[in-house]
Chain A
Amino acid sequence: MKPVDKKRVEALTRFWQAHKRLPSYREMLQLFSWSSKGAVHHFVERLIRIGLIRRDAEHKLSPTSRLLHIPILGTVEAGWPSPAEEELVDNISLDEYLIPRRESTFLLKVSGDSMINAGINPGDLVLLERGRDPKHGDIVVAEVDHDWTMKYFDQPEKFSPVRLRAANPKYPVITADEEIKIAGVVVGVVRKYH
């Protein structure tokens, strides 16, 4: 096997360990930074030929035991795995770090200064996770009177009334008697200088 192929096979193994399934063709495009599904197809066919994966009766791909036995760590020929290689396994990309739940995270641009004392400035991008239940102290984006606003979510006890508090004394506290709809929880802020 070519060294590049070996890297790709390792990526497949890692994917399998994380998800307990093989990636779809589309996911392989991303995994290998390819742009052609044809290339993925040929690669898959090659792996089937050499017996690393197989296609079952329903045309689904699954790994053979050979694929699962390819060690991800270290070299197999001789010696100990180097510490540097061992570290690699635990790396995550900045993307994964900032966006733990990929399917429900959205970008949102901040225009006002209501969270300025929380370090969120006008022009910043925030990462908003939808469908997550807010907890006391979270920063949330809420819809109040058809307007969108970013505030601290205040609810110290489980059934106490919800209050939305700005990180800027200029703005009053919003209480629950106005209708509050939580659009999502802010999970990160991005500010790019260059």
Chain B
Amino acid sequence: MHTPFILSSFPRAILHVDGDAFFASCEQAVHPEYKGLPVITGKERGIVSAASYEAKAYGVSRGVPLSEVKKLCPNAIILPSDYETYSLFSLRLYAIIRRFTSQVEEYSIDEAFADLTGLRRTLRASYEDMAGQIQKRIHKELGITVSVGLAPSKVLAKVASKWKKPAGLTVIRGRNIHDYLEKYPVEKIWGIGSQTTTFLNKYGIKTALQYAEQSEEWISAQLSKPFQEIWRELRGESILPVTTEPKDTYASIGKSKTFTPSSSNKNYVFAQLAKNIENASIKARRYGLLAKRLIIYLRTQDFRHTGVEAQLSRASAFPNELLVAAQNLFGQIFNEHEQYRATGVVLMDFVSQDSLQLSLFERPLTVNNLRALYEAIDSLDARFGKHTVFAGAAFPAYQTPTYVGDRAELAGRKKHRIKGETNRQRLSVPMIMKEVR
């Protein structure tokens, strides 16, 4: 017998909403003829992005190559990812939860946390009823299912939403926490990675319950703050807040893209890299961030990676500067006897655009000019579409389509365009892609 960690049911009531095979479910919602059939997204990438539960029954899972899928499940419906539709569904998912509480955290495209604490009287419902209503409204209005978990903390709510899938509703009350943690492997806890798992296993800690039952002294002596917080959350204490502010800061921004066919042409491979650098710096500028460190990497046809990094003398998010640094690095790792199929870039160590420090011998004018130049470029792009102005070095990458053959199939919403819509402007209402008679 284990003693309960806490006796009250919900000192805080935290809800975690988790989409069931989200991308595949969205496809089934806009293609009603695919309901009940094995649906797979990720055609353009050549591997499975999401598999519907019907496809999972055949042993298909995320990351499996599509060639493998054809053997496991020959009648699978394989679709190119239609991110436009998925993000519209995602926004609606958040909006439905917001009808119940304003404290909603948009955790990822298919996941959200919500704090329901204190709403029982206003909504005239128990916490469990609220969770059930949210789940039901999402199903009825969006035509997709979600699994929801209700618990006194975020970490436990995540355990709960995974407990039963798809369309599960799991409630973990304070006094029952230990029942759920008893068989829950420690490595499946949100925030515990492989390093920590190996460490914990050395001390014989295999389950979440064993972790939660360690003494506070042991936890604080052996583990860093995030794991001490997880320990308290597992014991029913709500430490991690449901943050309603959107993410406005990043530790790193990465962009990488596969191209087919593979290439050993130096200019072409560099152009692909240049395009990624432009994309990453567009994103950094959008958040007002400048990077001090740059990593580039190349992937060969047989999936080997080579990468190299550099510290920048001054933080930057301007391709004019980053490309010069990248060209140097690229020269160090590019080998003309290799066939490359992907390039990537990571920008790191950000400082805010407003707190930029110039290096000793620099003229402030240079930076101001660059800033003015990219403000102009960004406003042109906003008006006429992304990459209206791009670096000459990236030119070869824009001349060839990213995907050829089978993978080049247009994703749902790009294929079904409505009169008046353009290549980059479409209505913000999802479209059901079956025609009605």
Query: Taking the complex as formed, is B245 at the interface, i.e. its CB lies under 8 A from any CB of chain A?
Result: yes
CB <8 Å contact, B431 and A107: yes
Set of chain B residues within 8 Å of A25, measured between Cβ atoms: 245-246, 248
CB <8 Å contact, A149 and B437: yes
CB <8 Å contact, B286 and A38: yes
The secondary-structure label for the interface of chain A is: mixed
Which one of B213-221, B340-348, B413-421 is at the A interface? B413-421
CB <8 Å contact, B286 and A37: yes
Bound together, the chains give a CA A136 to CA B188 distance in angstroms of: 51
> Which of A97-116 touch B at CB < 8 Å?
99, 101-114
The residue that B244 contacts in the complex, of A60, A107, A149, with Cβ under 8 A, is A60
Set of chain A residues within 8 Å of B419, measured between Cβ atoms: 192
Query: Taking the complex as formed, is A53 at the interface, i.e. its CB lies under 8 A from any CB of chain B?
Result: no
CB <8 Å contact, A125 and B418: yes
Query: Taking the complex as formed, is B96 at the interface, i.e. its CB lies under 8 A from any CB of chain A?
Result: yes
Q: Which residue of chain B lies nearest to A22 when distances are taken between CB atoms in the complex?
A: B102
CB <8 Å contact, A111 and B436: yes
Which one of B134-142, B171-179, B189-197 is at the A interface? B134-142
Query: Taking the complex as formed, is A47 at the interface, i.e. its CB lies under 8 A from any CB of chain B?
Result: no
The residue that A106 contacts in the complex, of B102, B416, B429, with Cβ under 8 A, is B429
Query: Taking the complex as formed, is B432 at the interface, i.e. its CB lies under 8 A from any CB of chain A?
Result: yes
Bound together, the chains give a CA A101 to CA B287 distance in angstroms of: 32
Query: Taking the complex as formed, is A148 at the interface, i.e. its CB lies under 8 A from any CB of chain B?
Result: yes
> Which of B242-294 touch A at CB < 8 Å?
243-246, 248, 286-288
Bound together, the chains give a CA A126 to CA B435 distance in angstroms of: 11
Set of chain A residues within 8 Å of B137, measured between Cβ atoms: 131
Set of chain B residues within 8 Å of A36, measured between Cβ atoms: 286, 288
Set of chain A residues within 8 Å of B140, measured between Cβ atoms: 104, 130-131
CB <8 Å contact, A103 and B418: no
Query: Taking the complex as formed, is A59 at the interface, i.e. its CB lies under 8 A from any CB of chain B?
Result: yes
Set of chain A residues within 8 Å of B287, measured between Cβ atoms: 37-38
CB <8 Å contact, A103 and B92: yes
Query: Taking the complex as formed, is A72 at the interface, i.e. its CB lies under 8 A from any CB of chain B?
Result: no
